[in-house]
Chain A
């Protein structure tokens, strides 16, 4: 904190992890102003620590944090088939503790990546898909493809800090002449509105577009043959050309692309491989939660898999049967520990609501639909405001999070997990 009560912090409101956010505090320690943050980041810093805070509860009744932790230890120790879910909004240190707990309990462990960017991250993290950092994008990328992603809404400063507007080492002329942003989406999103090229496809049209691109890159089909699929033939030929001639191309894969491809993700592998025959082409998944990249890396380092893991007496099993949706759909879990996640809001309700039928413990800073149906609720400090740590940005670059505001009424999720680990 400087003499003007201003502290420079890293913003954990999305996986851009902007490190240039300034917070101004009043004499009571309240945040009264944010500088440099986007709307989303500013709302996080101004509002999240004040409102809707979770309180320690067992079966809806207020208890002490000690009692909530004791009850958690009892539930998890007695469970035969526990599942741990979340940790995408926790520090790397907390994630390591969470994975350690899963190992100790012989539990299944999964995070939100199994419902979204996991398909891309399981290629990026082991190195089978070419990637680069956001700093590389700023310095070198001349072609940026926002494919099924809409950073203007999901990662508001992505384009201004890294991918479109800034000048970089080899992009000194900036966005006007040095960069070609392309958006591929099913709708004219806000991102599409500022891109120089927009290709509107039909829902689930990604597979067809990739197939056409593969043929077109090899010169097997020409412009006009693409007509009728929603993209003008001439414009499609231009797209092929731009991608082929790029000096440094980065594709920002969004949920639109991942959800559309699912089992056909291998087509995307083929496209990236083919594009690299012509131009250096990289992929950065538009990870949402600020440390989902960290969680997938942490679990990969511990088990060889980025998500959907089951520990069993030191052995590791992996497969879609351990995804949170499969585990809950099959009603196999007999206890659940949810850490910094809200599956009742973020996965199909018909599936997530089965958490109401088993002893569910939720560690969260806020009351959520998931705390509403949890048997035990343990409040946690907000990482990035009340607790520090480290996190991986969407491109895997490590950043430090600070704790500029003290809150003595709550413990960090790392401290809570340490206490649970000691007890089980």
Chain B
């Protein structure tokens, strides 16, 4: 879907969360650059990246209902058009709605829209502060 009102076109993608050994190496310091750089990542199918004119390593704005984060786009080695992968972290959890009656959130089918951006990566502290302000001032 392309919205004509946006400067950068938006595309619908389904996000599936995955595990990443490199990210887990840095889990002791969730505010450190290494952890953030391995977590604020979204991995796209190559043909999707071409369609969206996105470069490997470029920045993307990823939005779901109510939350928006800026991540690094990465090219997948596998083909999975329409599906993107994100390591499980606060970034993926920022995009997920709450849980259903099972208590389990929807980690394997998160509907998001993505668009190119030149904005900085969203920091972990920034993300927590933003949501905290929403929580405390509603």
Give A residues with C-beta under 8 Å from B. 38-40, 43-44, 47-48, 51-52, 114-116, 119, 150, 152-154, 156, 186-189, 203-204, 255-256, 258-260, 262-263, 308, 320, 323-326, 329, 342, 344-354, 356-357, 366-369, 372-373
User: Are A350 and B131 in contact, with the CB atoms below 8 A?
Assistant: yes
User: Are A48 and B135 in contact, with the CB atoms below 8 A?
Assistant: no
With a CB–CB cut-off of 8 A, which chain B residues contact A152? 21
User: Are B21 and A39 in contact, with the CB atoms below 8 A?
Assistant: yes
In the complex, which of the residues B16, B21, B94 has the most CB atoms of chain A within 10 Å of its own CB atom?
B21
Q: Identify A369's interface contact among B76, B105, B128, CB under 8 A.
A: B128
Given contacts A152-B21, A320-B101, 9 further A-B contacts (CB under 8 A): A114-B103, A156-B21, A186-B108, A256-B108, A348-B93, A348-B94, A367-B31, A369-B30, A372-B128
Q: Identify A353's interface contact among B101, B106, B131, CB under 8 A.
A: B131
Provide 30 A-B residue pairs closer than 8 Å at the C-beta atoms, listed in order of the A residue: A43-B26, A51-B28, A51-B32, A52-B29, A114-B104, A115-B99, A115-B104, A119-B104, A153-B19, A153-B20, A153-B21, A156-B21, A186-B83, A187-B83, A203-B14, A203-B109, A256-B108, A260-B108, A262-B104, A263-B102, A325-B98, A348-B94, A349-B128, A350-B66, A350-B94, A356-B132, A357-B135, A369-B125, A372-B128, A373-B128
User: Are B67 and A350 in contact, with the CB atoms below 8 A?
Assistant: yes
- Identify which of residues 4-22 in chain B touch chain A, using a CB-to-CB cut-off of 8 Å: 14, 16, 18-22
CA distance A196 to B9 in the complex (A): 41
Give B residues with C-beta under 8 Å from A. 14, 16, 18-22, 24-26, 28-32, 66-67, 76-78, 80, 83, 85, 88-90, 93-94, 96-109, 124-125, 127-128, 131-132, 134-136
User: Are B19 and A308 in contact, with the CB atoms below 8 A?
Assistant: no
User: Are A356 and B135 in contact, with the CB atoms below 8 A?
Assistant: yes
User: Are A345 and B90 in contact, with the CB atoms below 8 A?
Assistant: yes
With a CB–CB cut-off of 8 A, which chain A residues contact B102? 119, 262-263, 320
CA distance A262 to B108 in the complex (A): 11
User: Are B30 and A203 in contact, with the CB atoms below 8 A?
Assistant: no
In the complex, which of the residues A260, A342, A353 has the most CB atoms of chain B within 10 Å of its own CB atom?
A353
Q: Identify B98's interface contact among A114, A344, A350, CB under 8 A.
A: A350
User: Are B32 and A345 in contact, with the CB atoms below 8 A?
Assistant: no
Tell whether A348 pairs with B83 under 8 Å between CB atoms, given A204-B108, A204-B109, A369-B30.
no
User: Are B93 and A345 in contact, with the CB atoms below 8 A?
Assistant: yes
Closest to A258 in B: B104
Q: Closest Cβ of chain A: how far from B138's Cβ, in Å? A: 9
User: Are A187 and B93 in contact, with the CB atoms below 8 A?
Assistant: no
User: Are A43 and B25 in contact, with the CB atoms below 8 A?
Assistant: yes
Q: Closest Cβ of chain A: how far from B71's Cβ, in Å? A: 15
Closest to B97 in A: A348
User: Are A351 and B108 in contact, with the CB atoms below 8 A?
Assistant: no
With a CB–CB cut-off of 8 A, which chain A residues contact B77? 188
With a CB–CB cut-off of 8 A, which chain A residues contact B94? 348-350
SS class of chain B's interface: helix, strand, loop or mixed? loop
User: Are A351 and B28 in contact, with the CB atoms below 8 A?
Assistant: no
User: Are B28 and A366 in contact, with the CB atoms below 8 A?
Assistant: yes
Q: Closest Cβ of chain A: how far from B69's Cβ, in Å? A: 10
Q: Which 10 A-B pairs have the closest CB atoms?
A: A323-B103, A43-B25, A325-B99, A52-B29, A48-B28, A345-B90, A154-B19, A348-B96, A353-B131, A188-B78
CA distance A127 to B104 in the complex (A): 23
User: Are B108 and A259 in contact, with the CB atoms below 8 A?
Assistant: yes
Tell whether A369 pairs with B90 under 8 Å between CB atoms, given A51-B28, A150-B19.
yes
CA distance A258 to B17 in the complex (A): 13
User: Are A187 and B136 in contact, with the CB atoms below 8 A?
Assistant: no
User: Are B99 and A203 in contact, with the CB atoms below 8 A?
Assistant: no
Closest to A351 in B: B98
User: Are B93 and A352 in contact, with the CB atoms below 8 A?
Assistant: yes
CA distance A114 to B101 in the complex (A): 12
With a CB–CB cut-off of 8 A, which chain A residues contact B88? 346
Tell whether A368 pairs with B19 under 8 Å between CB atoms, given A115-B104, A346-B93, A351-B99.
no
User: Are A349 and B109 in contact, with the CB atoms below 8 A?
Assistant: no
In the complex, which of the residues B18, B76, B94, B97 has the most CB atoms of chain A within 10 Å of its own CB atom?
B18
Q: Closest Cβ of chain B: how far from A206's Cβ, in Å? A: 9
With a CB–CB cut-off of 8 A, which chain B residues contact A150? 18-19
CA distance A287 to B18 in the complex (A): 14
CA distance A200 to B76 in the complex (A): 15
With a CB–CB cut-off of 8 A, which chain A residues contact B66? 350
User: Are A326 and B25 in contact, with the CB atoms below 8 A?
Assistant: no
Q: Closest Cβ of chain A: how far from B31's Cβ, in Å? A: 7
CA distance A344 to B89 in the complex (A): 9
User: Are B98 and A187 in contact, with the CB atoms below 8 A?
Assistant: no
